[in-house]
Amino acid sequence: MNNSQLQPTLLRLTSIDCELLRLQTRYDVLPQKNKLADLDKKKADLDERAQQLQQMRTNLDNKLESLNAEGELVQERIILEQGRMEENSANYKEVARLSAEIETLTRRLEKLDYDSNSLQEKCQELKGVQAELEKRQRAIADMEEQLQASWQADGTKLLEEIEQLGTERQALGTTLPAEIWERYEASRAKHNGIGAAALQEGLCDGCHMSLTEGQLARVRQQIASEGVGECPCCHRMLVLP
């Protein structure tokens, strides 16, 4: 390979490596990743709310149960007192007392029924809220599944491109003199993925520093003799565009 072939090969390598950096960054910050994180937060909020609702349901159910148990006791008492009243039907005083007692118990029973009905209504309302919440939880689970699939699809596409470019740069590398290829790879490792830069109108395209006349003359001389120069600022390999 002569020097005139060296320059375009190194420039092509540089542009492949720029593209590789871009693809890698895109892979690292795929939007699905953030969206999935947002969904996770929403999911956690909904799960917490679902737990609160379940706790409320349990409390209501317990209250309802104790109201109903009390209602049954009162009912038994009423039957008992009615029996006593029949047994003592000749004793007007006792009948009057028992009758008042039964009336109080009946009012208590009515109050218990009323409370029980309103608790049951609350239970129904709560069930509706729970069903709504479950619907939202299912919707989020569906969205999560879709995002996971699209993340994998996009990720796979990017990884394929990365692999393809990797193969191309490897093939290009083997066409370079071994010593230049090694220098390029060492420079790439040291300079955040970009090993060479073009010298454009006295500027290093890698670090954008303007070279002095003296530096320019030295770099031109390096290029003429070795095929590549070196930026005196960022120390990347310098080639002519």
Nearer to Zn ion, 155 or 232 (CB): 232
List the structure tokens of 98: 């028992």
Q: Please select the residue that binds Zn ion; options are 39, 46, 216, 233, rule is CB under 5 A.
A: 233
171 membership: H or E segment, kind and range: helix 92-175
Site of tokens 């010593």: 179
**Least distance from C-beta 215 to Zn ion, angstroms?**
10
**Least distance from C-beta 191 to Zn ion, angstroms?**
9
Q: Interacting stretch for Zn ion, rule CB under 5 A, among 51-59, 97-105, 187-195, 233-241?
A: 233-241
Partnered with residue 8 across adjacent β-strands are none
| Dist. CA 81–CA 78, nearest whole Å | 5
13 binds Zn ion (CB under 5 A): no
234 binds Zn ion (CB under 5 A): yes
**Least distance from C-beta 194 to Zn ion, angstroms?**
10
176 binds Zn ion (CB under 5 A): no
Maximal C-alpha separation, the chain: 136
Nearer to Zn ion, 23 or 196 (CB): 196
**Least distance from C-beta 204 to Zn ion, angstroms?**
3
Site mask for Zn ion (CB under 5 A), range 187-226, x = bound:
-----------------x-xx-------------------
Q: What is the dihedral of CA 124, 127, 129, 131, to 10 degrees?
A: -140
Q: Interacting stretch for Zn ion, rule CB under 5 A, among 34-42, 92-100, 152-160, 231-239?
A: 231-239
**Least distance from C-beta 231 to Zn ion, angstroms?**
3
Backbone angles phi, psi at 239, to 5 degrees: -130, 160
Partnered with residue 230 across adjacent β-strands are 237
Backbone angles phi, psi at 240, to 5 degrees: -85, 140
Nearer to Zn ion, 231 or 239 (CB): 231
Question: What is the size of the binding site for Zn ion (CB under 5 A)?
Answer: 6
Show the 3-state SS of 32-83.
HHHHHHHHHHHHHHHHHHHHHHHHHHHHHHHHHHHHHHHHHHHHHHHHHHHH
Contacts with Zn ion by CB under 5 A lie at 204, 206-207, 231, 233-234
